[in-house]
Amino acid sequence: MIKLQSVSHWYGQVIGVNDVTCTIGPGVTALLGMNGAGKTTMMRLITGQIRANTGSVRVLGHDPFANPEVYRLLGYCPDVDAFYETMTGREFVTLMARLAGFSAPEAKRRADEAIDRVGMADRADRRLAGYSKGMRQRIKLAQAMIHDPRIILLDEPLNGLDPGGRREFILLLRHLADEGKLILVSSHILFEVEQMTRSILLLHRGRLRATGDLRVIRELIDRHPHRIRIETPHPRALAARLVEWPFVLSVSLEAGGEALEIQTREPDRFYGSLPELVEQGLVILGLSSPDNNLESVFRYLVEA
Amino acid sequence: MPESGLIADLSYRGYDGPLLPPTHRWWVIARMGVRQAFRKRAYWVVTALSAWYYLVMMAVLFFFERAAQSAPGARGEAGFEAFIGRIVWKDQFLHGFGFAQLLYLIAALMLGAGAIANDNRSKALLVILSKPCDKRDYLAGKWMGVFLPLLTMMLIPPLVFFVYGALSYRDYGFLDNPWFFPKFLIVLVLGAAVHTSLVIGISSLFDQGRLAGASYAGIYFLTNFFTQLMVFAWLDSQVFLWGGARGGAGQSPFAEYVDRLYYVSIDGLLIGLCKAILGTDGSPQFGMPSPIRPVPAPPLLATLLVALALCAAGVAVAWSRIRAVEVVR
Amino acid sequence: MIARVLFLHALRDFLRFRRVLAWVLVIAGVAVAGWVWAGLMGEMAPTDVYARLSSILTFRVLPLAAAVFATAVVGQEVEQKTIVYLLTRPVGRPTLLLSRAAAATVVVFAIGAACALTVAAAAGFRSGVAGSLGQDLVALAVGSLAYVSLFLVVSLLLNRAMVVCLLYAFGWETSVGNMPGDLYHLAVSSYLSAIGSKPAPTSGNPMLDLLSGQLGLNLITPQRAWTVLGVLIVVCLVFGTRWFATHEYVPREDAE
Amino acid sequence: MVASLQNLTVRYGSFTALDSLSAEIPEGCVGLLGPNGAGKTTLIKTMLGFLTPAGGGGLVLGLDIRTQGREIRQKVGLMPEQDCHIPGLNAVQFVAFAGELAGMPSELALRRAHEVLEYCGLGEARYRNVETYSTGMKQRIKLAQALVHGPSLLLLDEPTNGLDPRGREEMLDLIRSVSHGKGVNVIVSSHLLPDVERVCDHVVVVSRGKVTEQGAIARLKVIEGRPIDIELKEESPEFVRALRDLGATVEATGLVLRVRLEGSAEQVSATIFRTARQTGAQVRGLAVAQRSLEGVFEEAVRA
């Protein structure tokens, strides 16, 4: 669907994206990165607002720059918080539908349906100037999916949504992904992204740092072995036994005395041999892996 | 060497220093305005430029005096006497004030156009009102923040000329009636107040300094344009009285209003105010003889009322436009 | 079809209440100036009064309106950051630019025509004024198109376009009419006055001539004026659309 | 008690933003939660004396919100949700100006501005104009201008909004270090519940203009009957069936099973590991089940 071939782009001497090569297929993919890592630049390249200085960008086989063919199949929810403030939400979405080439009645119908889908049906007739951030975000979503695009790009879509709104949005995204659409979401709220997808695309300082499934990437981070925390009434006894296992790199006892933390590069073997210890009378009350989530993976990958 | 080893705890600590009573916050905002104005180089450039009439006048006087002394015998001296006789000292301040109007506008734009407009765009009110300030402090502070630098800018050139005049031309009657200078200061205060109120009022209507500046300049030039029409209407009636080319029968219905309509613009009003307060109709610039009679001064009370009305209007517009805090549900 | 939607959206945006109010005030100012002035020039022939006023007032307001609305076609959208919604629609950029420019031209012409009408009313609709008014309306039509396309190109190239356009209109064009030699060929207004109503060469009052830019000679024949303006419009629009279609219009990446 | 509000009612025209809302805000760090348009921002504005309530009243830091608005705002630091700064100033000038506005003498304000900027991690960007700041830095300088006059109550409206993960972590550390042991009470109004969980001890949930839930987070998260959450490596129906045979009630959602089993914690965990080994399932997570804050939020909002 989307193919980037050694793409670079810079504004003056500020590097936006530097030699990125990747392909993005259907389903939900998360575009992650620090502020200024090049996420917005990449989004603008794919939506054809800017042109790559080197390399090529292909969306559905076409060069997206100022290309109406691509925009017929692409929906974009921009990161800028800007609107035609004097219009109402419904008018704005209807206008966007008309500009997508629908007739007046068809545009009205689609607008009402999209506004309903983002839960703004009762508040869409007020002027945009008075909207809260969450409401503006929903209107932006509505206009992004009004013309049944095959690709939907969302730049910081969760910004300002309340928990209820975010849950509805994630369900909506999953539903759209099930219809075979390609959804690229750039977001900073990692614990939300984790609920959306496991396929990530991590940019750091303009370079592509990691792509693919989160779990696989986590395995590949060998510089940071897996940390596993165990809550037990007798940490020292358990620690003595764990140290004997060859695949346990380190064991550290927490000050509170009720828990210990081990580091291992082979989590599978560790989890597999734990039950034996329990059978030999050692007690494990709690077992968790503090860094088996997107937040830690992100932190490890973008460490200076 | 401090004997006991000490690692300071640089984490957050509260502020327990003195806190002034949460009143008269407007002075803080005004001082910020003044500080920002004095920091701008362009401000001083405009101040210097606005003194050009006074500088020219000083140069003219200086060279005439030199020429008179170097010329042989009494003729040179007499020529200078005649020249200086023609000069009405207080009118020089009127002309200085009149010729600097454009620069006063530029200063007002530079100081005031963005005063509230840029605040609207950057939502500065949220910061200011979350401190112990309210709308009154904000408006008063902003107004003074523009008024004080504008008044200083208007004040410096005439002050310099006054000192120069008082020192070197005392015996030519410069200080015969010294009361004209305090009156002139009142003119400057009113002039600065009118410009400040109008530019603050217009600035509050926009959220971009540039647009506010463009609108105020637009209004200024449009009304000024109107005064230009009156200028040559006046010249035309002069030429006519003077038996000029266009004989022609009756006089147009507006002839007698011309000298009033002449003042119907921002700079016209200020010049009118200056004439009315100084109590002069003005006299030819640079002491050059000229057949055209200057436009007579407008009635003092009427001009004063119009000026104060403009000030009130500007402030009222600004007050109504400053919404305490965007009420967003 | 989409062009019509763009045209109507731009029209609605340009004719917002606050903007219309501002221009109504301007036209009111013109009316007052015209009425007062006509009163003063009691004995002058109405057509001459009309022609004089139209060159001073109407053909000054036209470039002013053009400067405001031409820069709003693209410049304002970029500044408001709402350009992203237009650029990511399945609409060719030329259509986008031209339909919004058309809306701007229509609004500018409307303002110019309103000015011309008030000035004509001020000069009294007596003999001949209607004729020169008609002539002026034609000049205003082609003038608004010329000014809008010229200022559009300026707004595409520079981001501080409004100031540049105003300087051109009020600085260059007002003074070029009075300059010696052929400098007047470089001002749109000279060509427009060749097409529109032409005030009598001199009115015997040097100041009046200075103001209405009559001091210099204006030897442009209407035919040449039409060709030059036509070329100017075509060149500006073609260059503008090419430039708009090949360049990036994106709010500046916030500095890290 | 930082603030006590008695049936506050605020109306915008016909819309009732706060509907006789009563709340007792305890010391320390309190999370203010609620869906869009529930009245959170209105509550903050009323506490600061921006809006005069149609009915009811309250005290903030012992000062009456109806009459002593200015005194409250001198003791409180507000970090607004929207971006806001004073145009044309660099960071130090801006924060010093905020200090002077709060009543600090100008030279003390300048010294304090440097200190607070250093503290908020803007030490090296202190002389740059605020317009050139990134989203993260804009959030920090908003916190700095709220802290400059040493407030005893800090109101933070969406402090971590728009920050990247590292920025969010640093902002949360900042808030936690200010609110614990420095004598500064903090009220965090946010939509990011995990952030609130990491920083706050108490929570007040506002929905449709009323307080529908309030209390210590720890207490609210407890589920009666202490069920155990087990996370497996892959789904294993045999494991679930084996547990059910042992009389446990099991609710499976994806890889996580919520198990209720009689017996002490040690016995339950021993049985779980034994069954896992027998059925070849691999247990990767074992914890006492807690209601997520989102769960608390959902129930409070639905009420």
**Which residues from C are below 8 Å from A146, CB to CB?**
none
Tell whether D303 is covered by a domain: no
DSSP state of C168: I
DSSP state of D32: E
Q: What is the pLDDT of residues D232-274, one digit of tens each?
A: 888 888 888 888 888 888 888 878 888 888 888 888 888 888 8
Question: How confident is the model at residue B329, as a pLDDT?
Answer: 29
| pLDDT above 70: percentage of residues in chain D | 100
DSSP state of A160: T
Question: How confident is the model at residue C96, as a pLDDT?
Answer: 92
Q: What is the mean pLDDT of residues A25-32?
A: 92
The answer, yes or no, to whether residue B194 has pLDDT greater than 90, is: yes
In angstroms, the CA D90 to CA C189 distance is 46
- Number of helices (H) and strands (E), helices first, in chain D? 11, 14
Nearest to C207 among B218, B235, B258 (CB): B235
Instruction: Please state the ipTM of this predicted complex.
Output: 0.75
Tell whether D169 is covered by a domain: yes
Supply the pTM of this predicted model.
0.80
Tell whether D40 is covered by a domain: yes
Instruction: Report the candidate in D233, D225, D289 with the shortest Cα–Cα distance to residue A275.
Output: D233
Q: At what angle do helices B209-241 and B180-203 cross, to 10 degrees?
A: 130
Q: Rg for chain B (alpha carbons), in Å? A: 25
In angstroms, the CA D56 to CA C63 distance is 58
Domain count, chain D: 2
Question: Any chain A CB within 8 A of the CB of B328?
Answer: yes
Please say whether the structural domain A2-220 has been given the CATH code 3.90.1210.10.
no
The answer, yes or no, to whether residue C254 has pLDDT greater than 70, is: no
Question: Any chain B CB within 8 A of the CB of C28?
Answer: no
The answer, yes or no, to whether residue B240 has pLDDT greater than 60, is: no
Q: What is the mean pLDDT of residues D91-116?
A: 92
Neighbours of chain D (3+ CB pairs under 8 A): A, B, C
**Half-sphere exposure (Cβ direction) of B227: Cα atoms closer than 13 Å:** 19
Question: How confident is the model at residue D159, as a pLDDT?
Answer: 92
CATH number of A225-303: 3.30.70.100
Instruction: Determine which of A35, A167, A193 to mutate to test the interface with D (most D C-beta atoms within 10 Å).
Output: A35
Question: How confident is the model at residue B133, as a pLDDT?
Answer: 87
CB pairs under 8 A between B and D: 128
SS3 A15: strand
CATH 3.30.70.100 in chain A, residue ranges: 225-303
Question: How confident is the model at residue D216, as a pLDDT?
Answer: 92
The answer, yes or no, to whether residue B85 has pLDDT greater than 90, is: no
In angstroms, the CA A87 to CA C16 distance is 11
Q: Parse chain B into domains and list their residue ranges.
A: 22-321
Q: What is the nearest CA distance from C112 to chain B, expressed in angstroms?
A: 16
In angstroms, the CA C68 to CA C16 distance is 14
CATH of the domain at D263: 3.30.70
Does the distance separating the beta carbons of D98 and B131 come in below 8 Å? Answer: yes
Neighbours of chain C (3+ CB pairs under 8 A): A, B, D
In angstroms, the CA C78 to CA C96 distance is 14
Write down which residue in D162, D196, D220 finishes a domain. D220
Q: What is the nearest CA distance from A191 to chain C, expressed in angstroms?
A: 25
- Segments forming the whole domain that contains residue D250: 228-290
Q: What is the pLDDT of residues A118-170, one digit of tens each?
A: 888 888 888 888 787 778 888 998 999 898 899 999 988 888 788 888 888 88
Of A258-267, B24-33, B230-239, D276-285, where does mean pLDDT reach its minimum?
Answer: B230-239
Write down which residue in D164, D196, D220 finishes a domain. D220
Q: What is the mean pLDDT of residues C157-186?
A: 77
* Burial label, C143 (beta-carbon count in 10 A; 0-12, 13-18, 19+): buried
CATH 3.40.50.300 in chain A, residue ranges: 2-220
SS3 A29: strand
In angstroms, the CA C41 to CA A132 distance is 59
Sign for the pseudo-dihedral over CA of D230, D233, D235, D237: negative
Does the distance separating the beta carbons of B210 and C207 come in below 8 Å? Answer: no
Residue B305 CB coordination number (10 Å): 11
In angstroms, the CA B239 to CA B254 distance is 16
Cβ atoms of B186 and B277 within 8 Å: the answer is yes
Nearest to D167 among A35, A156, A279 (CB): A35
Question: How confident is the model at residue C255, as a pLDDT?
Answer: 33
DSSP H or E run through A5: strand A2-11
Instruction: Please enumerate in sequence order all residues whose Cβ is within 8 A of that of A4, keeping only pairs 6 or more positions apart, or say none.
Output: A20, A21, A22, A23, A42, A45, A46, A55, A56, A57, A58
The answer, yes or no, to whether residue B327 has pLDDT greater than 50, is: no
If asked whether residues D180 and D240 sit together in one domain, one would say no
| pLDDT above 90: percentage of residues in chain D | 31
Does the distance separating the beta carbons of D287 and A295 come in below 8 Å? Answer: no
Tokens 């369900």, residue?
A171
DSSP H or E run through D12: strand D3-12
Of A98-107, C168-177, D137-146, where does mean pLDDT reach its minimum?
Answer: C168-177
**Which residues from D are below 8 Å from C255, CB to CB?**
132, 134
More confident residue, D177 or B285: D177
Backbone φ/ψ region at A21: left (φ over 0), alpha (ψ -120 to 50), beta:
beta
Instruction: Please enumerate in sequence order all residues whose Cβ is within 8 A of that of B45, keeping only pairs 6 or more positions apart, or say none.
Output: none
Q: What is the pLDDT of residues C86-95, one digit of tens each?
A: 888 888 899 9
Tell whether D212 is covered by a domain: yes
Residue C74 CB coordination number (10 Å): 22
Q: What is the nearest CA distance from A51 to chain C, expressed in angstroms?
A: 7
Helix extents (H) in chain D: 40-47, 69-75, 91-102, 106-119, 135-147, 165-179, 193-199, 217-221, 237-245, 265-279, 293-302
In angstroms, the CA A18 to CA A41 distance is 10
Q: What is the mean pLDDT of residues A180-195?
A: 89
CA D295 vs CA B186, B211, C228: distances in Å: 70, 50, 73
| pLDDT above 90: percentage of residues in chain A | 36
Cα nearest neighbour of A34 on chain C: C256
Question: Any chain A CB within 8 A of the CB of C90?
Answer: yes
Where b means 16+ CB within 10 Å and e means fewer, B168-207 reads ebeebebeeeeebbeebbebbebbbbbbbbbbbbbbbbbb
Nearest to B236 among C29, C33, C205 (CB): C205
Cα nearest neighbour of B329 on chain A: A132
DSSP sequence for B105-173? HHHHHHHHHHHHHHHHHHTHHHHHHTSS--HHHHHHHHHHHHHHHHHHHHHHHHHHHHHHHHHHSGGGT
Q: How confident is the model at residue C158 (pLDDT cuts 50, 70, 90)?
A: confident
What part of C 37-56 touches B (C-beta under 8 Å)?
37, 39-43
In angstroms, the CA C133 to CA C139 distance is 10
Backbone angles phi, psi at D157, to 5 degrees: -100, 110
Write down which residue in D220, D252, D271 finishes a domain. D220
Residue B306 CB coordination number (10 Å): 17
Cβ atoms of B40 and B82 within 8 Å: the answer is no
In angstroms, the CA B115 to CA B212 distance is 10
Residue B210 CB coordination number (10 Å): 17
If asked whether residues D247 and D201 sit together in one domain, one would say no
In angstroms, the CA A159 to CA D160 distance is 10
Q: Parse chain C into domains and list their residue ranges.
A: 2-250
Q: What is the mean pLDDT of residues C36-57?
A: 74
Q: Amino acid letter at A53?
A: N
**Which residues from C are below 8 Å from A68, CB to CB?**
89-92
